[in-house]
Structure 1
Amino acid sequence: MRGSFIKGVIVASALLVQCGRVQAQSPATVPQVDTGAIETLAREHMKKRHLASLLMQVRVNGEEVMTFAAGEAMTGVPATIDGHFRNGAVAMTYVAAISMKLADSGAIDLDEPIARWLPGLPAATSATPRMLLNMTSGYPDYVPNAGFVKAFETNPFRTWSVDDRIAISTAMPRLFAPGTNWDYSHSGYVILGRVLERATGKPMHALMQEYILGPLALAGTHSIETAQVPEPVIHAFTAERGVYEDATYWNPSWTITQGAVQVTTISDMARSFDLIVGDDTFLGAASRAAMIKPSLVGFGSPLPGCRTCHQMTSAFTYGLGFFLENEWVLQTPLFGGYASSVATLPADRSRDGRRITVAVAVTSLPDSYPDWTATLPNWADELTKAIATRLAPDTPPPPFR
């Protein structure tokens, strides 16, 4: 658990590659990408970082160019492209998209104080849904709280309710007033989930199905309130508690608001991100523009006691539900032995007008990290950025760090 929750400091012939087998797709419908070079890059990365499994998908202009799986889902069981893994913070992007849909319909006002829905919550008269979305609300993140860390490491199978997590956050010292700084906080999205439920009278899992999973046809993505993972399962392994162990069925209830705790497939993760932020089809021009606009560049500053408070730059800022790094839109979940990354270069931010999405998910072997107690790098994000740079050398994401 230590250090694995947040992002660190902060084809000539088109091919579908699956578990070493190659299937041809129609070259008339798939943009030209050197899939062989990308597969080589992935295999070299897997060897370099001592990974147990690697799943990857590349999409260009809305077309699936290649999907690839390598390694083992568990000992002796090959990883396959339909394997399920936890998508973590990608669900934050989904919650943000739901928020935009509800704002468009008039169900919520992103700039109205959340006291309308949560009158008893501290600072609710000045915090707004937009602040919860862009991580400027100032509600302290419960994840680094010493009591939470100890409880989780003692029993990673415990169920954490929304009330549990809001109580931890609101009992912690508030470091800044709403809207005056930036700090990565799971608490904000837990609170936002409750706001959306109160505003609509519907539970989050119903909102998720109505606005995201159904419309985007994400048949491989499931919001599950327990530690269950549907077959086939990509197992996760970690040594964060001092011994290398299978963490697949650790309880993920702590990660985000109830109803948005999810498992997914590499295809669902890539295609959903591509559709939500890649162009205006799903959200509409105004809502999508609001989500991906780098409004926070120049905002924020370091603050004693705040782990991620800093001034935002074009190379690293936050939109509404994801990171913005140069022209790319990203999410980079890392927890409980699962690491993944999904990045989209929208067509209107690309030099050549192509929309590109890269998604990678990996699991680890004991040698994946020299020190499991340190802040763990996200090896999926490293490969995602390497592929993104190869595909869009004139519009690359910032270097992996």
Structure 2
Amino acid sequence: MQSTPSRRGFTAALLAAAVLAPMATSSTAAAHARSRAPQSGDDCPPGGLGPELTARLDAAIEGVRKQAAIPGVIAGVWLPGRGSYTRATGVSDTATSTPMATGLFMRIGSETKTFTVTALLELVDEGRIRLDDPICAHIHGVPCGDRITLRQLAEMRSGLFPYTADADFTHALLSDPGRSFTPWELLGYGFRHKNTFRPGETFQYSNTNLILLGLVVEKVSGLGLADFIHRRVLRPARLHRTWFPRGAEIPDPHAHGYTDQTLSGKVADTTHWNSSWAWAAGAMISDFQDLRRWAEIVATGTLLSPQTQAERLKVLPTGFPGTSYGLGIFETSGWIGHNGSTPGYESVTVYLPSQKATMVLLINTDISSGGQEPSTLLARAITEIVTPDNIYDNPVPPR
């Protein structure tokens, strides 16, 4: 699912040093999370899938990469009891032809939503908020805020207009991709429109929802969202190469990203575009191995109580066959997790509980191929080979 702006129309396919005195329950939860955090996965030995399956995966990935004109791909599948497969192919920089490598940082777009909602659910576990609180109990000025709950925001069922679908926002961003946006500026683009349906009535992917949830986390915790996620999510999950940038920065080494979401329609290098436009919905950066860990943590609820994780996994129909959406996660063909699309980058991070399998994909373009997201084409091709009974498909049509 995307946090991506697009001249073709924004859709939901789709991305301080204040000290918080932790409650006793949060300290206990953090210790519990550390003890339960998934280990390195020794039951997935490299190359364990065998030469025939490995060759089929190599051919499938390279075929999709060339067909979809993807500059570079990082792909990994871990199948306990069977083995694992990892591959980096293509280039990380088209100007220098530097090869893609598995250790590079990449922007992960809407996968950010899994971190923001995890932060929110930790506050639920502490009893500091409730999922069925109306948003007006925490943030004022939201249209129909007395009838929209935190749960509906996380489920994408609020009816709030997606700010990324506002034409003025599109022009503002694409005219100056280096500019900074505040959360309230983003909300202003959405709130100028009428709500699209009554709260809870249906599913509509909207980054407006996640901006509000990010503000709730900040207000209730007393910390900036980036700081709270770092302290309460990334640290206990032992994700040392995942980051919430303040603006356009991206750590080295990184892959360059390429998009055709420009005013002219020409392909541009988006590596240093300012990600503040997506904030709690799509700003974060990570790498291959951290996302492998995160896939299992999200799907199994390592950082949350069993009761709260059960609420998270109550997925509801999206209107797209075979796909449901829960609290900041989707389920499609048995795979649980999220994908991301932001100008120049796409990703997929999912976990298949029935096989305890993990799949991670990172690519350095978001340019559609045949009307489909290139990351979806890759995920489908890989799962057709390794999990033919659970073939991944994009939860929502692109753009």
Above 0.5 in TM-score?
yes
Q: For the residues of structure 2 that align with 1:176 and 1:27, how far apart are their CA atoms?
A: 48
CA change 1:340–1:140 in 2 (3 A) is same
In the other structure, the counterpart of 1:66 is 85
Shift in Å, 1:179: 1.8
- Is 1:188 the counterpart of 2:209? The answer is yes
TM-score by length of 2: 0.82
Matches within 5 A, 1:2-401: 2-3=7-8, 6=11, 30=45, 32-33=48-49, 34-61=53-80, 65-74=84-93, 75-241=96-262, 242-257=265-280, 261-277=283-299, 279-294=300-315, 296-297=316-317, 312=319, 315-346=322-353, 350=354, 354-364=355-365, 377-398=372-393
Q: Output the amino acid matched with 2:288.
A: I
Asked if 2 retains the 8 angstrom alpha-carbon contact of 1:79 and 1:234, the reply is: yes
Shift in Å, 1:189: 0.3
TM-score by length of 1: 0.81
Local SS of the residue matching 2:273? coil
Alignment deviations for residues 95-148 of structure 1 (CA, whole Å, 9 cap, x no partner): 111222211110110101122211333322111110110011111100011111
Give unmatched runs, 5+ long, in structure 1.
10-24, 298-310
Local SS of the residue matching 1:286? helix
Shift in Å, 1:219: 1.3
Asked if 1 retains the 8 angstrom alpha-carbon contact of 2:9 and 2:165, the reply is: no
Shift in Å, 1:266: 1.6
Asked if 1 retains the 8 angstrom alpha-carbon contact of 2:125 and 2:305, the reply is: no
Q: Output the amino acid matched with 2:391.
A: P
Give unmatched runs, 5+ long, in structure 2.
1-5, 15-39
Local SS of the residue matching 1:143? helix
Q: Output the amino acid matched with 1:362.
A: I
Asked if 1 retains the 8 angstrom alpha-carbon contact of 2:116 and 2:280, the reply is: no
Asked if 1 retains the 8 angstrom alpha-carbon contact of 2:12 and 2:206, the reply is: no
CA change 1:224–1:115 in 2 (3 A) is same
Shift in Å, 1:177: 2.2
Q: For the residues of structure 2 that align with 1:162 and 1:229, how far apart are their CA atoms?
A: 20
Structure with the largest fraction of helix: 2
Q: For the residues of structure 1 that align with 2:242 and 2:231, how far apart are their CA atoms?
A: 13
Shift in Å, 1:383: 1.1
Q: How many residues align?
A: 358
CA change 1:329–1:27 in 2 (3 A) is closer
CA change 1:61–1:392 in 2 (3 A) is same
In the other structure, the counterpart of 1:12 is none
Tell me the C-alpha RMSD between the 2 structures. Answer: 2.7
